[in-house]
Amino acid sequence: MTVTTLMWEARAAAGRGPGLLAWARAQPLEGTPLRRETFTATEDRVLVLTWWEGAPDAGHPELPEPPGDLVTRAVHRWRFASVGVEGDGRTGA
């Protein structure tokens, strides 16, 4: 089975980090990913990773661009194909 991870990363406008996070978490996707995880980072960045069964060039649904008043720039998007899983998922190994 091929697994593809989609990465969606945005940087919030000044003071808009909580709003961007709430917006990203509220966005539905067409279909159900194997997994969806949301992260925050310095500089009010929000990262959403979704895991899908299938090749990177398959039509996996992506989160849209957020409203312009929430962000400082266009969203960064990447697709990654898994080449293996290590560790037990709890230790970070």
Residue 92 has pLDDT above 60, yes or no: no
Q: How confident is the model at residue 93 (pLDDT cuts 50, 70, 90)?
A: very low
Global pTM? 0.88
- Residue 91 clears pLDDT 70, i.e. is over it: no
Separation in Å, CA 55 to CA 23, 39, 44, 52, 80: 28, 24, 31, 8, 9
Under the banding of pLDDT at 50, 70 and 90, the label for residue 25 is very high
Give the span between the Cα atoms of 25 and 23, in whole angstroms. Answer: 6
For residue range 44-57, list pLDDT tens digits in order: 999 999 999 999 99
Please compute the mean of the pLDDT values over residues 14-20 and round it to a whole number: 97
